[in-house]
Amino acid sequence: MDETTHHLSPKVLDRVHVLRFSNPMLVDWDSIEAEISHVTEDPEIKLGLTPHDIGLRAEYPPFDRRNDAASFLAGLAREHLDPLGVEFGMRAVRQSLGYLAAAELTGIEPDKALDNVVRQKILPKIALDTSRPTSDGRKRRDVLVSLREALAERLGPPEAARGEGNSVGDLDRLITLADGSNKVANFWMR
């Protein structure tokens, strides 16, 4: 997202996983070269993927409220997202459960995978005026802070991610930017 693009619609955000990349001009190229300097030209290393490599499209897993991740995501939607006016419904929860199942097969730790879901499917939907109250009279900023606390309790503080960040740190950044930007919390703001 930059000044030449339009915001993604809620319909699109509901169906995709958003990946955020930093500006390539700000990258430490020396460290990248050092990291890959030991890689040799091995014809067995695939540099591209075919549709077959990705696998077949499957139905989303069913929603089971006894599933820990489903319960956690539904709780976030009920307690935090809905009061903020952020839609995170059954399709999004079921898609997230599919992601979590696929992540487990690839060896991604469950809490890291859950953090990815929050970073890729929930936080990109946040674009709101924190000075306006919720329908039950709470301040939206307070609801964002309680969302942050719920995430930190489950996923750990920002430092827990060992250099790559996590959703708690992303939410901290979003809240700080909102406090200094006319109370507008927007995931896409820099």
φ/ψ of 186, rounded to 5, equals -145, 115
Helices 140-155 and 167-179, packing angle to 10 deg: 160
pLDDT in tens, 14-39: 777 777 666 666 677 787 777 777 66
- Angle subtended at Cα 6 by Cα 87 and Cα 4, rounded to the nearest 5 degrees: 150
pTM over 0.85: no
Distance between first and last Cα of the chain: 10
Residue 138 Rama label (left phi>0; alpha psi -120 to 50; beta): beta
Higher-pLDDT residue of 56 and 131 is 131
Q: Is the pLDDT of residue 152 over 80?
A: yes
Concatenating the DSSP letter of every residue in 151-167 gives: HHHHH--GGGGTTS--H
pLDDT in tens, 58-88: 888 999 999 999 999 999 999 999 999 999 9
